[in-house]
Amino acid sequence: MPRAPRIARAQAVALARPETLDHRWTGWLTAAVAVALLAAGLLGL
């Protein structure tokens, strides 16, 4: 069990890395653009 805090800390550091945030933001932006295009297409019809 003493490894649990180390693993949690490693995961927190990994989540705080800029690369992870960049990928996360890219995914959210891609989803937002897809939803916007879908909404524009539905409103266009």
User: Residues 5-17: pLDDT tens digits?
Assistant: 777 777 777 666 7
- The pLDDT assigned to 10 comes to 76
Q: pTM for the whole thing?
A: 0.47
Query: What is residue 44's predicted lDDT score, i.e. its pLDDT?
Result: 84
For 27-45, what is each residue's pLDDT tens digit? 888 999 999 999 999 888 6
pLDDT band at residue 2 under the 50/70/90 scheme: low
Q: Angle, nearest 10°, between helix axes 3-16 and 18-44?
A: 50
**The pLDDT of residue 15:** 66
Domain boundary assignment for the chain: 3-44
In the DSSP assignment, the letter for residue 2 is T
